[in-house]
Amino acid sequence: MPAESRDLIWPSLEYANWRDTCATLHMWTQIVGKIRMTLTPWINHSWHVTLYLTARGLTTSPIPYGSNAFEIHFDFISHELRILANDGGLQVLELKPQSVAKFYGAVMGALRQLGITVEINTTPNEVVDAIPFERDEKHRSYDPEYANRFWRVLLQSERVFKEFRSHFCGKCSPVHFFWGSFDLAVTRFSGGPAPPHPGGIPHLPDAVTREAYSQEVSSLGFWPGNDQLPMPIFYSYAYPEPKGFAEAKVRPAAASYNPQLREFVLPYEEVRRASVADEAILQFAESTYDAASTLANWDRAAFVEVKPALLSRSAQNASTERGGYS
């Protein structure tokens, strides 16, 4: 792939170049995510809190508010936060360098203008030095170029993750963005229970963590990095981690097991340099899942997806006669 095409599809995202913007945007997404979490019915494994990719950014999807609904959408092309209500109401906030405290106040004020009142827990989750949103004047950076790059990487990653997800017919999460850990993830489940998670994640109740990991999982994701690991990575982990997982042979060759994270990691820069980036990610996804599911004795044969195109013509006809999709 020509370098200019690679840079457009898989842009450079060196952590050092957007460290401050990354930290600020993390807090902004937490504010928006907590609004969704507060007003949305609980779904297992905290699937009710996540954000989703759009053709322009990230969205909450519709949030119920009584018999009405509204949606909050980060637009990383126009660099706006758009709050849309089902009665036609609209509030638009510019995404620009500003403190978390100012952004929090502006979002809550815009909601009130739409007749929406909501109170959220203003302490950030899953960060060590948690500054309440209304007092956070530390994080105030916004580089539109890098915000756009981050979204473009998420968009491409989501596309490949959805291909990986389609190969599995067991219980599987959507491909969704967790604002607490600030990563895109998709998780497969064995159907079996898991031992209680030890918890201990900063500013996250252990009960939430234990419910999230109450079943055996193999999870794949993309994460932009932080000060402790300052580089973007694709990751894959298993919970509970089966014996021998850390020593498993996975692909591509650039992937390795990180004992600190207890995850296999594939540096994003290695994916950018690959001749076919999609293939590198899928090799990583499939080989780490194969290791996790084989070593943990999952019923792998039960989870093989049968594509409609592989069904016999008579089966397709029968489906059509019953009103099925064609």
Give per-residue pLDDT as tens, 53-83. Answer: 999 999 999 999 999 999 999 999 999 999 9
Distances in Å between the Cα of 270 and the Cα atoms of 12, 52, 274, 301 are 11, 25, 6, 32
- How many Cα atoms sit within 13 Å of 208 on the Cβ side? 16
d(Cα 59, Cα 218) in Å, to the nearest integer? 25
Q: How many residues does the chain have?
A: 326
Is it the case that residue 203 has pLDDT exceeding 70? yes
Is it the case that residue 311 has pLDDT exceeding 70? no
Is it the case that residue 322 has pLDDT exceeding 60? no
Is it the case that residue 314 has pLDDT exceeding 60? no
* Ranges of each domain in the chain: 13-135, 144-303
Residue 296: both structure tokens together: 């943990």
Is it the case that residue 319 has pLDDT exceeding 90? no
**Higher pLDDT pick, 152 / 326:** 152
Residues 6 or more apart whose CB falls under 8 angstroms from that of 60 comprise 32, 33, 35, 36, 51, 52, 71, 72, 73
Is it the case that residue 19 has pLDDT exceeding 80? yes
If phi > 0 it is left, if psi is from -120 to 50 it is alpha, else beta; for residue 191 that is: left
Is it the case that residue 320 has pLDDT exceeding 70? no
Q: Which residue, among 120, 10, 100, has the nearest Cα to 60 in the 3D structure?
A: 120
Distances in Å between the Cα of 89 and the Cα atoms of 7, 114, 119, 138 are 38, 6, 20, 32
Percent of the chain with pLDDT over 90: 90
Please give the pLDDT value at position 36. Answer: 98
| Helix axis angle, 277-295 to 144-165, nearest 10° | 50
d(Cα 101, Cα 135) in Å, to the nearest integer? 6
d(Cα 258, Cα 245) in Å, to the nearest integer? 11
157, 281 in Cβ contact below 8 A?
A: yes
Please give the pLDDT value at position 305. Answer: 74
